[in-house]
Each structure stands twice: as C-alpha cells, then as structure tokens.
Amino acid sequence: MSAVKKLYDAYAKNEPLKRGVIGVTDLEEAYSVQDAVLDLKIESGEVLSGYKISLTSEETQKLFKSDQPLYGAMTDRTILDRVSLGDFNIPLLEMELVFIVDEIVFPEDNVDDIMRKCRVAPGAEIPDGRYEDWFPNIDLYEVVSDGAVNGAVIFGEPRKFEYDDLDDIKGTLSHNGEIIKEGQSTEVLGHPAKAVKWLAEALSGRSRTLNAGLFVSAGTFNIPVELEAGKYTVEYENIGKVEFEVTE
C-alpha cells in the first residue's frame, strides 16, 4: 500500500499508523504525498480552506531537525468552534494568529502588503498526527507527508491590523481559568506576517498561490501542550481572544 493510501485511510478512519511505515525519505517526496492525500480529501467532498505553518521557531525546528518552516494544507473539515477529543488521535494545542486572505498574496509582497491584504483573528491550532505516539517522535518527512500534522483550527472574529499591532505581542493560554502557557509573536519567524510571506514564497515554489478566501494559521507562540477536556481561552495583546470548550 502506498504512503498516500496509508495516510488517507488513517485520516478517514482515525486509525493511526505505526511510526516509520510510510517510507518517505526526502522533503520533495513528502510534499508530493501531502498533495496527493489532499486530492483524495477533495475527491471525498472536502474543500481546501487554508494552510498551517509549522516550525516557525528555532525551538520547534530543533525538535524535528529542520532548518526551515513547513506548511500543511487544511480543509473545511478542520475549521471548528467546538472540539471533541474523540475526533482526534493525540491532539495538542498551540496559540496561533490566523490570517484571513482577502486579496491574493504574491511571493513578492512585503509584510505591509500582507497586512493590507489580510485580516487577522485570535486563534488556536490543534496539531494531530496520523501516527502512534507521534509527538515529538516522528521524523520531518512524516510530519510533512501528513499535512504538517494538521488537526483543526479555531479562530475568532478577524479584523484589520497594522504590522506594528502584531509586533512582539504576548499570547496567553488559559485552561479552566488557569494560565498554562504564555508566548510572544517573535517566536513566529520574528513576526507572524513574515511567516505568511514565507508561505506565499513556498507555495509559489510548488506552483501554488495563496488565494483570497483562504486562511493561514501562521505559527505557534508556544511549544504545544496536550489538549484536554475543559474550557480554553487564548488571548493576544492588541488582537483579542478566542474561547472554546473541549469535550471528551
């Protein structure tokens, strides 16, 4: 069975694979597998709705022995406002700002162009891998093949902001009213708009475009934490907050 079929079946049935079984050994092959898995999702009725950017900090790159960020395509099935642990394999949680693309973002656009073309929402991303005991034990190629281990994204009302509004701001993650993590936007390639620019360039290199109507979960403010049942609040300086509940 091909890597594509294994990963799609693991996704569709929520039956995780053993680590090391897909046999992907380089980055180009990994992105090709990701693309083919996305094609199967679209064939089954899902719609490409956005992208997540991973490994945007030195710390997260070290976890997976990478010298660059990664991206993963996400479908409409991944946009949630309520979360059930039973729908996932081993879900984690990250604080991420979500950019809503209102005009095509071109690879040559600068960060001010990106801020003009996008709105920004307070958000959270739920990484989840289609492998047993996946974090942080799978390799870089398993991560990319699996759509950058995308699980879901949750975000609040998007608004227009200036570049400086997102510069070195703090994010705070609370669970059942208790602060469990804090992080800075500088963890996201220095500034989240720079991560969106990186994505536009990376997609262009694979003959793809960051089109209007898509979202971008721009990169984490924190090393991921285990997702648990309860009420979460993610709040960002200058931007606002998003709240959601996780059930069993």
- Of all residues in the chain, what percent carry a pLDDT higher than 90? 96
105 neighbors 114 (Cβ within 8 angstroms): yes
Which of 113, 227, 234, 232 has its CA nearest to residue 169? Answer: 234
Across 81-110, average pLDDT: 97
| Domain assignment of residue 107, given as a range | 3-247
Summarised one tens digit per residue, pLDDT across range 219-240 is 999 999 999 999 999 999 999 9
- Decide if pLDDT at 22 tops 80: yes
- Which tokens sit at 195? 């991560």
* Contacts for 108 with CB less than 8 Å, ≥ 6 apart: none
Summarised one tens digit per residue, pLDDT across range 137-162 is 999 999 999 999 999 999 999 999 99
- Decide if pLDDT at 119 tops 80: yes
Across 12-32, average pLDDT: 96
Across 168-196, average pLDDT: 98
Q: How many domains does the chain have?
A: 1
Separation CA 146–CA 181 (nearest Å): 26
Confidence of residue 63 (pLDDT cuts 50, 70, 90): confident
Confidence of residue 61 (pLDDT cuts 50, 70, 90): confident
- Decide if pLDDT at 208 tops 80: yes
Indicate the range of 3-7, 60-64, 87-91, 150-154 predicted with least confidence: 60-64
Q: What is the pLDDT of residue 226?
A: 98
- Decide if pLDDT at 196 tops 80: yes
CATH of the domain at 90: 3.90.850.10
- Decide if pLDDT at 56 tops 80: yes
Q: What is the pLDDT of residue 59?
A: 86
153 neighbors 177 (Cβ within 8 angstroms): no
| Average pLDDT of every residue of the chain | 97
